[in-house]
Structure 1
């Protein structure tokens, strides 16, 4: 009779950790105060798990910024440039996460990438040839000690060595296999230290084994774990996977000396078939991931119990578990006091999922049919709002509705003539800093302290100011700043039928950044024009083009909690038609450049390449094309993508048929440019020339050097110059200084190009 979670949220129900870390960064609290707040959050999490009846309290899942960064620092995988700053350990840690600039020292942050197919981001560990991998920290053990003082049954979790090596970046001649012996030795030292505690289970997370694995990958994995598991310890070891199935390596997993295996039976499409055909060892425990850790809908107990009954295990070697960490869902449905009860009854956040595990345990092991019947009544009564007009519009679509004409090369000629922009046109990605007064204005309006006219008057003044600033700074294509928007997805969801919204359902995206995803509840359509008035007002203030700024259908879908009763393709197509209405309205009102952001295009890409086109890109790419297929050839369509590995889907991105695409590139050292060139990328492109997620200000010389690197590989008539993402989260002083340096570096490059042309 066992229940398990893979991990728990950590930002706090009211984002206490976010506020505390940001205060620490500003110097408003010291390290002891920050630690006290963190300890309070951990205690609350552990107590909640204990009260729910969870079999093991989960430790090792807390982080001030990112668990993989925690592991890298635990193992001394800290690049020399950060150690040379001579900071205390915590500030060295944050320098890796955010970058550092002070007293003439300036260091960029580590690359930030998507964590598998989620909206969580991890920091890429960096190995160089001089990296000395060894056990160097003790936070993991401190948290375990604290938990054991109050709770008897405790497990701790640790990202595994294979995933560490697969996700790491190797900057020298040594590669993953070269570091494997040292990594294993360091993990052995961790095991020895854990052996000093009364630990029930060690959960080793190896999500990287749900990727397509080569023979070399399998060989490396087996070598690592044959060595690592060669010594016995007082605790048991669970090899935990999630986000997919382990079809490539299951045979090895059941042969290796693990005490337990954690398998995902929701996203792991072949997991049930694998264990059904190959069996499951009687001497191991199956941690069955059957409770969705990524979506917020109530669990269907009947379906889950039926699934559990199909597993080839006995009650003695079965643990009912979440499919992944609950990090990816909000804390507590009970906080949503304004949500309608007929919707609220169908939702399950982290706290409710703890109760669902307890219910499933009672039904499966103890036969509590009353809980099963009560749950079924909820599912019998669910009714998603239907819109027959929307459904018919989707059904009536033809292949030609997804094609824009003429072809891109002809459009490019017409657009260059229309806009007559200089070489290396400068622009930003869209948002400008949401300063305190902007947030207060929004809050006062929502509280009814000011009316809509007063609210809009403030927004208009902000737009007028930022348009003037961009003109004076010398930007070529302007933006209105997005001061009216709370979030790039939530804002559009609020203006579309079919969405519902929460007040406190925050989910960590990275570090102190939290988002509040909308919930797709019914059929989606545009209720009214969304951005037309704001965009046309901004355009009226200047003779330079102002981009209309929209969020694309795939990103809206991927950054929302989706319905589970209709296919992703149908849901995304509904959203695409709604955004198409907005695109055509903007064009009709004279907005000639329209940016449709698809920051999350990569996010739900299947982890196995064999599924990319048959299960995702076959509907994601057409959805984007549907949005802009009906605009005039002279209207220029931009899109933006950030903080994912796009190198391997470059052909699909080019197939979006946009006119200009801006990419995050600064943290990844412009590696994407080589792929663009190799794949004969036709779209004009703006690789980000500086990292906006770091508080440092890049110099003119630094940006000039980056532009030179870009032009060494891409033709000048295909290149735009821009930051790598929106500027919403930054302060104005650093933003303005950075952007002034961007324009200055661009002008310097243009002058050099002109001078070289004269010489030739």
Structure 2
């Protein structure tokens, strides 16, 4: 029988201190060459074990083999120059030094497929794998070749589709596309962003997710959130069209955010990964707080379509805090499963 309310994480988990400096995004590797490859595999095993011990149902690699959720994928493509960097404004929030697109972008070889095969060998549980979405990729680059955000996004969608098909063949059950940019560039999302995402999932038989969040718990994001007022209605702009799309699951942020829960009505019929863990605080939720978020979501999402999850990745947190939050997620989901079984 299929597990009711299967739990998962939105993406990254903290890296062990022997692999990279903890609690830091873009943290450089502490190892090199063969030792680094081995270290990444060990870290992936540890991330898997921590998820399993916490009772997480759909497991991931915790993004242990990548420095960053977007740029690690881009590093493997041709047409992008990492030496030639420009400063751009990312998601209209903060400046970052990013690589430059200098020619046609192409994928010369698989990026994460070997890592996915390795994870598949370690577990019988369903696996979810995260990839950056086309719009978020273009937002993390300086384009000196296509001179068109839309054209570049379509090229990335084709490349992502190649990778996704190989990940599916490697035994990945759910492929997630991270699109925090969907919360910012509403006109572009509706004009061509969702269509690009459809291109990225073309021909896939496994389940697909789009993850739209308000970002990691870093200062630039928390400062931006303070400007959004008492109600965060960004999802309202993109949900109607996503509800009509071929994407199976929509992953969003609910815990401790100002997103009105009734916006979930706009995606009724879709499966929903409800973020019930706040990743922008070190405070560990109680199981009851998680359960409360899930109860609210159940007013708008059928129980067989609800997937309890974290708001976003947990890379910037300490391992101890992340561990506690994973356990809280499992325990909260368990409370609701028992209530549903008792017919409450």
TM-score band by shorter chain is 0.7 to 0.9
For residues 172 and 182 of structure 2, the distance between their equivalents in structure 1, rounded to whole angstroms, comes to 25
**SS of 1:524 mapped into structure 2:** strand
**SS of 1:730 mapped into structure 2:** coil
> 1:686 touches 1:720 (CA, 8 Å); kept in 2?
yes
Report the Cα offset of residue 459 of structure 1: 0.8
- Judging changes above 3 Å, is the alpha-carbon distance between structure 1 residues 520 and 665 closer, same or farther for their aligned structure 2 residues? farther
- Judging changes above 3 Å, is the alpha-carbon distance between structure 1 residues 498 and 599 closer, same or farther for their aligned structure 2 residues? same
For residues 128 and 169 of structure 2, the distance between their equivalents in structure 1, rounded to whole angstroms, comes to 14
For residues 680 and 552 of structure 1, the distance between their equivalents in structure 2, rounded to whole angstroms, comes to 20
Gaps of 5+ in 2: 22-26, 215-231
Q: What is residue 617 of structure 1 aligned with on the other side?
A: 190
2:124 paired residue among 512, 533, 543:
543
Q: 1:653 aligned to 2:218?
A: no
Q: Deviations over 1:544-567 (max 9, x none)?
A: 011122111111012222337532
Q: What is residue 202 of structure 2 aligned with on the other side?
A: 629
Q: 1:439 aligned to 2:20?
A: yes
Summarize the alignment of residues 304-703 of structure 1 with structure 2, pairs less than 5 Å apart: 421-439=2-20, 442-445=28-31, 450-451=32-33, 453-502=34-83, 515-563=96-144, 565-605=146-186, 612=187, 617-632=190-205, 635-643=206-214, 645-671=234-260, 673-677=261-265, 679=266, 681-703=268-290
> 2:252 touches 2:311 (CA, 8 Å); kept in 1?
yes
For residues 690 and 650 of structure 1, the distance between their equivalents in structure 2, rounded to whole angstroms, comes to 21
Report the Cα offset of residue 733 of structure 1: 0.7
Report the aligned-residue RMSD. 2.5
Structure with greater Cα Rg? 1
For residues 704 and 722 of structure 1, the distance between their equivalents in structure 2, rounded to whole angstroms, comes to 12
- Judging changes above 3 Å, is the alpha-carbon distance between structure 1 residues 602 and 522 closer, same or farther for their aligned structure 2 residues? farther
Q: Deviations over 1:382-420 (max 9, x none)?
A: xxxxxxxxxxxxxxxxxxxxxxxxxxxxxxxxxxxxxx5
> 1:664 touches 1:724 (CA, 8 Å); kept in 2?
yes
Summarize the alignment of residues 197-208 of structure 1 with structure 2, pairs less than 5 Å apart: none
For residues 602 and 486 of structure 1, the distance between their equivalents in structure 2, rounded to whole angstroms, comes to 23
For residues 84 and 18 of structure 2, the distance between their equivalents in structure 1, rounded to whole angstroms, comes to 20
Task: Determine which structure has the larger helix proportion and give its number.
Answer: 1
Q: What is residue 356 of structure 1 aligned with on the other side?
A: none
2:325 paired residue among 720, 738, 741:
738
Aligned length: 320
Report the Cα offset of residue 424 of structure 1: 1.0
Task: Determine which structure has the larger strand proportion and give its number.
Answer: 2
Summarize the alignment of residues 55-66 of structure 1 with structure 2, pairs less than 5 Å apart: none
For residues 314 and 200 of structure 2, the distance between their equivalents in structure 1, rounded to whole angstroms, comes to 25
For residues 256 and 124 of structure 2, the distance between their equivalents in structure 1, rounded to whole angstroms, comes to 34
For residues 503 and 694 of structure 1, the distance between their equivalents in structure 2, rounded to whole angstroms, comes to 35
> 1:470 touches 1:478 (CA, 8 Å); kept in 2?
yes
Q: What is residue 108 of structure 1 aligned with on the other side?
A: none
For residues 728 and 746 of structure 1, the distance between their equivalents in structure 2, rounded to whole angstroms, comes to 23
> 2:51 touches 2:59 (CA, 8 Å); kept in 1?
yes
For residues 287 and 128 of structure 2, the distance between their equivalents in structure 1, rounded to whole angstroms, comes to 25
**SS of 2:126 mapped into structure 1:** coil
- Judging changes above 3 Å, is the alpha-carbon distance between structure 1 residues 438 and 537 closer, same or farther for their aligned structure 2 residues? same
Q: What is residue 122 of structure 1 aligned with on the other side?
A: none
Q: Deviations over 1:456-505 (max 9, x none)?
A: 11111111112122112111100111112111111111011121225986
Report the Cα offset of residue 620 of structure 1: 1.3
Report the Cα offset of residue 702 of structure 1: 1.3
> 2:86 touches 2:142 (CA, 8 Å); kept in 1?
no
- Judging changes above 3 Å, is the alpha-carbon distance between structure 1 residues 504 and 558 closer, same or farther for their aligned structure 2 residues? closer
> 2:158 touches 2:199 (CA, 8 Å); kept in 1?
yes
**SS of 1:518 mapped into structure 2:** strand
- Judging changes above 3 Å, is the alpha-carbon distance between structure 1 residues 604 and 517 closer, same or farther for their aligned structure 2 residues? farther
Answer 1 or 2: higher relative contact order, Cα 8 Å, separation at least 6: 2
Segments of 4+ in structure 1 off by > 6 A? 503-510
Q: Deviations over 1:713-758 (max 9, x none)?
A: 322112110110011111111111111011011111111111127x
